[in-house]
Every structure is written in C-alpha cells, then in structure tokens.
Amino acid sequence: MHAKTDSEVTSLAASSPTRSPRRHVYYVQSPSRDSHDGEKTTTSFQSTPVLSPMGSPPHSHSSVGRHSRESSSTRFSGSLKPGSRKISPNDAARGGSTKGQKPWKECAVIEEEGLLEAEDRQKGLPRRCYVLAFVLGFFVLFSFFSLILWGASKPMKPKITVKSIKFDQFKIQAGSDFTGVATDMISMNASLKLTFRNTGTFFGVHVTSTPLDLSYSEITVASGTIKKFYQSRKSQRSLSIPIMGTKIPLYGSGASLSSSTGTTTLPVKLKLDFVVRSRAYVLGKLVKPRFNKHIQCNVTYDPKKLNVAIQLKNHCTYD
C-alpha cells in the first residue's frame, strides 16, 4: 500500500458512499523511523488501511483530524536545532522524566535557587567591603585632619619675656647646717616679673613650670614656682613669682660675702634657671602640642639697689 496525503484521505472518505454497514475502510498514519541527515531531522508517514469492525464514519473523521495533528507536531519536532533532544508524546505523558533524569519543574526550581544563592553571595561580599572601606577612609581622613591641626599649631609658640627682679631682702650671717657644721648662711626674698603671651589663634594653653632656681656658685640659694594656669587664645598676662631662700649654707663659697653687719658690700652674681611648659588641647587629647621654653638669666645683685627692680630684658636667653 503506497503512502497517501491528508487531502487524499479526506476526499476518499467523502466520495465513497456507505456500501455496507459491516465493513468500512479508513487509514491510520503511522510514523516511520526517523532519518537523520546532518543537522536536520525529517519524518515520513505511511498510510495503512485498517478495516473497522464497527464501521462508523465519525471514527474516520476523528482519525483524520488526529492524523493531521500528529503530522503537524511531527513536522514541528523535526525542525529542532542541533544538539537538542526531541520529546515524544510518551515522554510528555510520563511527566517529562526519563531514567536518570529529574522532572523539568524540579530542575528549574533547583537552578533558580542556585542563582539566588549565588546572587546573595555576590551581594554579601560588597557590603562588607563597603563597611571596611568606609572605616578605613574615615580613619585616614581623621588622621590627615589631625595632622593638619598639629602642623598648624606648632609654629604658634607662646612668647615669654622676663622683665625684672627685685630683692626685698639679702642677708648673710654665721650659722651651722643640720649636721652642726659652722658655715655662712644666706637668706633672701625676691620677686620676679615676667609676661606670658599665647599666640595661638584657635587654642588655649595650660601652663606650668619647673622650680625657678636662683643659684650662687652652683648652690641654689632661693627658689620659686609658677602656679598652674590656663591662658586663652591670643591673650597674655603678667606674672609676679616670689623667690625665697632661708638660711641656705654657703660653706666655703660665702667667705667673700660675709661681713660684720650681716650684709654684703660687694655685688653678687647670681644665675636664674627654669623651664616654662605649655600644653594645648587642640582636638581633645588626640592633638595636644607641647611647648617648652628653657630660660636662663644672669642676675647681679647690687647692695645699693635693695628694693629696686633690676632689669633683665637683655640678660636672659630663651631656648
């Protein structure tokens, strides 16, 4: 029996009258084996006559419609791209799963979950990087800003000027030290005047000092101290510091100073030495520049100038 087309089958069924209710002829198309030629897949059909035992015409029309749908689906599946698998109706009836393969829906769900997990991993890493970059950038900017403040404050050193010193008392008398050794003893009472100026334009300073030592022949005969104070920005103040010494033993160095009246008649060369320490808190305790000024003055006591201020403006060094 040779193959017939769908139109021939339809015309044959319409033109042939019903001769006997017992036997009717209709054709069923069965697909032949697929022949693969290169990249294209073609499918041919064969028409096989089948005798219907019941012989009802409606079955003929329904079979023709079914053959037409199968032909269309076969032609559609025959145009698959290379590398793709042709899906048969039996595979679709089994839910699209074959031996060793998972259903299509389950594969899609697993693939979607994998994509979501990969996306979450990709989004989680940049967040940590952003936080780390923000902290590091803030630290760098803050350090840079602090360095600028420190550098700007260093040239603004306080200015200290020693004005004068006045002796209210200067007396030398015989005595003995705490071990009972006889020696000359010196007692004095003086006051030192100086000015302190804060040149800082955006910070104040806290000021302290080491003891103000007044020495004779490397022996400290009087001492004083500057009380701690705070000096605001771009301001100054005058200070008067008392310097006192009571019964300081001179041992052999005071032989030339002693007299029967208890006062010396010769000028006495003394040396004043102290350090003024200033600290500024520009940015709390993070930026706190320090300014130290070492001051040394040569002082000459004149017995004729008791209770008279001795100018020291040109007799001091500042380091």
Per-residue model confidence as pLDDT tens for the chain (319 residues): 444 445 454 444 444 444 444 555 555 555 554 444 444 444 444 444 544 445 444 444 444 444 444 544 444 444 444 444 545 555 544 544 444 554 545 555 555 556 666 565 555 557 778 888 888 999 999 889 888 988 888 899 999 999 999 999 998 888 888 888 888 889 999 999 999 999 999 999 999 999 999 999 889 999 999 999 999 999 999 999 999 999 999 887 776 776 666 677 788 999 999 999 999 998 888 889 999 999 999 999 988 888 999 999 889 999 8
* 316-318/290-301 β-pairing: antiparallel
Neighbours of 34 (CB within 10 A): 13
Tell me the residue type at 14: A
Q: Contact 152/183 with Cβ under 8 angstroms?
A: no
Q: In this structure, are residues 214 and 220 in contact, taking their beta carbons and an 8 Å threshold?
A: yes
pTM: 0.56
Using DSSP's 3-state secondary structure scheme, residue 93 falls into: helix
Sign of CA dihedral 259, 261, 262, 265: negative
Distance (Å, rounded) from C-alpha 42 to C-alpha 10? 24
Which residues, 6+ apart, have CB-to-CB distance to 224 below 8 Å? Answer: 192, 211, 212, 214, 241, 242, 243, 244
Single-letter code of the amino acid located at 306 = L
d(CA 212, CA 277): 13
Task: Provide the 10 A C-beta neighbour count for residue 25.
Answer: 13
Neighbouring residues of 272: CB distance < 8 A, sequence distance ≥ 6: 162, 165, 192, 212, 213, 214, 295, 296, 297, 298, 299, 312, 316
**Amino acid at the residue 154:** K
